[in-house]
Structures are given as C-alpha cells and as structure tokens.
Amino acid sequence: MSTDQTRLVDPAEDSKPSRRGVLVTVGRVVLASAALPALAAGGHAASSGVLTGPPKGESTEKQTEATAEKVVDALEGAYGLHPGQRRNHTKGVGVRGVFVGNPETSAYSRSALFSGETLEVVARFSVAGGNPDASDAEKSSRGLAVEFRLPNGGLHHMTMLHTPMFFAAVPQTFLDKFVALAIDPATGKSDPAKFKAFLATHHDNASQTAFLTSNNPPPSYANCAYFGIHTFRFLNKRGNVTLVKFRFVPQDGEKQLTNAELASAPQDFLEKALMERFAKGPARWDLVLTIGEPGDEQNNPTILWPKGRKEVKAGTLTLVSATPSAEAGSYKINYDPLVMADGIAATDDPVLLFRSPSYGTSYTRRLQNL
C-alpha cells in the first residue's frame, strides 16, 4: 500500500469533537474513493495494483473517509443499539485454555509464544454482526479471538474468522456495507436495494461472499478452522523478517451443516454444542503458519496466496471450558489485533491498521454501558 493514497493520520490532527462528547477519535484512515471503482472494474482477485491510487485525471480531492466513529455508528445503525455490548460479533461465548508453541518456530519468530512453555489463553467464539440474537445458522462469519498471556506479563492477540479471506480490501468497503444495511426507522428493516447497490459496486467483497455461499456454517465452533487472514511480519532473533499468514486447524475435523440440517437448525445451538464438546474433554487446534514468498500480497486481506506455499506447525491450542458471554473473562477484553508481543508485527494492510481504532471505539462505548 503506497503511503500517497492511504495515510494514517496522527490522532492529534483530529480535533473534531466526537459524536458522544465523551469519546475521542482514536484514529482515522483517509482513502481515495477512486480506489473502489478500480476494485469494481478489476475484481477482488486483481493484484495489489487496485490500491495504487486514483486513475489518471481523477482529483485526489474526491475522497471519502472511513473513521472508527463512522463504522461503529454504522454498525449501530444496521443492528440497533445494544448498550454494554460489542458493536460487532455481539453474540458469543467465552472460553479458556492453554497454548503451547513449537520452539522450532523460533527460526521465524523470537516471540515468547514459541518458547514451548504452556501459556494461559482467554478466548471468545462469536457470530459476526451486531445482533445479540443472531441465528447460529446464519451464513456469516464465525469468529475466534484469543488473548495469549505471556510469562513476562505481556499479551498477544489473534482475532480471526472462519473464512480464509475478508470482505473489504479497504476500510471504506466495511463502512459502505453497514451504511447500506442501515435500518429504516419507518419500516424497521434495511432497504434491499441499497445492499444490492453495495454488492454491485464493491467487488472486493465477492471472494468472501462466494466462500460463505458455497460453505454451509459449522455445527460447532469446535469444527471450524480460524484464519488470521491478514499477512503478518514474523521477526527472528537476527532481525530477519518473514511474511506469514496463519490459521488454527481443528483436530476434531472441519464440518459443515448439511442443507437439510441448515433448514431445520434452531436459532441457538453453537454454545450448547461447545459445552457438550467440553464435557467430553479438551478440544484442540493446530496453529499452522503459511510462509510467504517474495511478491506475495501483504496489504489486501481479500486476496489469498497461491497454493503450495511452505507450511509449518507452530503450536497447539487446547480449549477446556466455556462460559456464557457476559460472565466470561473475555467479556471485558478488547481483542484488538494490534496487541502483539515482540517477534510478530503488523504489515501496512490498511484494514488491519484500521481495526485497532474501531475496536477501541466499540470498547469505549460498551464499557460506558452506552
């Protein structure tokens, strides 16, 4: 991502008072709207060239802005206000367990995650979207957020989805999606024409939409792989940088509801299935790293790397117990994906960088019981 068309603005520059008066805008990403028609024309699978700036002759003044405040407002507009709750991935369940990293991973990362010691984790499974009563059979993303507690008191977060790719190459697509889903107070529903127009103009969402259409949801959180989606920079003791994508692969195997099961699925089954799974014993996932090669996409989370990249087993996540959302230790955790201990760092992916202020804004509102 070149810095001439996407730049992170110093929060100090942003003197606008917040919508709620008590909040500060914690970040702002400015994007050239001309990038979106380019995505529409080039399709989501085009090279990172789609993000290189406005087409010739287009003025950079024609810009739209996605801010953390705007996306959280848009989530509230699409799902209603649920005081004290997450504005996205609202429905969920807290879980606890441990992680043991594979020390051979130190060839790629000096992170304490890979010391081989047993680390406590506090995690949360969730259903995407801001509806606390979402159906567990919804063809949307399932989430897994993990906080690793390191021996030196440090923390590391991995906040993932069960889809290998995301639906937005730039934060503006995220904002536009939830603006398009806004509930009209007159009808109590969103306007399908607006969402159709969003789909027609934002081709970066096509890849994830295709995945969710062709893969039925899982019968249990324990039968899902969870993907970090973004590219991360792994740094070893010598300071060498390796581009890495990661995923957690369930030892219970990946399963999907059949069409018949989907049609008759109750509203809520994921939490019950998880409790029943833990009653039989711990559930485990292998952490698998995919090692990038020169030229692999770093900054567009809608694009997958070519098949055949080297893979490394970097550790095992063992989850042992579940607690309903509001009582769980995860309830008051902000699973900001930029909370990373030494040895793993962010790329310049504008979506990854934008998540941090957005989660902060949602967190600030929910902790104030707004």
Give the whole-angstrom CA distance, residue 84 versus residue 64: 30
Binding part of the chain for ligand HEM, among 81-89, 189-197, 254-262, 307-315 by CB under 6 A, reads 81-89
Is residue 93 a contact residue for ligand HEM (CB under 6 A)? no
Give the whole-angstrom CA distance, residue 298 versus residue 245: 9
Binding part of the chain for ligand HEM, among 131-139, 278-286, 311-319, 359-367 by CB under 6 A, reads 359-367
Is residue 89 a contact residue for ligand HEM (CB under 6 A)? yes
* CB distance 300 to 169 below 8 Å: yes
Give the whole-angstrom CA distance, residue 194 versus residue 222: 35
The residue from 89, 156, 157, 230 that is catalytic is 89
Among 44, 243, 335, 356, binds ligand HEM (CB under 6 A): 335
Strand partners, 189: 184
Minimum distance, C-beta of residue 230 to ligand HEM, in the bound complex (Å): 6
Is residue 92 a contact residue for ligand HEM (CB under 6 A)? yes
* CB distance 117 to 100 below 8 Å: yes
225 Cβ contact partners less than 8 Å away, ≥ 6 residues apart: 162, 247, 248, 249, 250, 254, 285
Among 127, 134, 229, 344, binds ligand HEM (CB under 6 A): 229
Among 28, 44, 70, 87, binds ligand HEM (CB under 6 A): 87
Among 6, 25, 334, 356, binds ligand HEM (CB under 6 A): 334
- For the question of residue 157 being annotated catalytic, the response is no
Place of tokens 């940088």: 241
* Selection from 102, 119, 118 nearest residue 154 by Cα: 119
Q: Which alpha helices (DSSP H) does the chain contain, by range? A: 35-42, 68-79, 171-180, 192-201, 206-214, 259-264, 270-279, 350-367
* Count of residues interacting with ligand HEM (CB under 6 A): 30
Is residue 285 a contact residue for ligand HEM (CB under 6 A)? no
Q: Using CB under 6 A, list all residues that contact ligand HEM.
A: 71-72, 86-89, 92, 124, 126, 143, 145, 159-161, 166, 168, 171, 174, 229, 301, 334-335, 351, 354-355, 358-359, 362-363, 366
- Which positions are annotated as active-site residues? 89
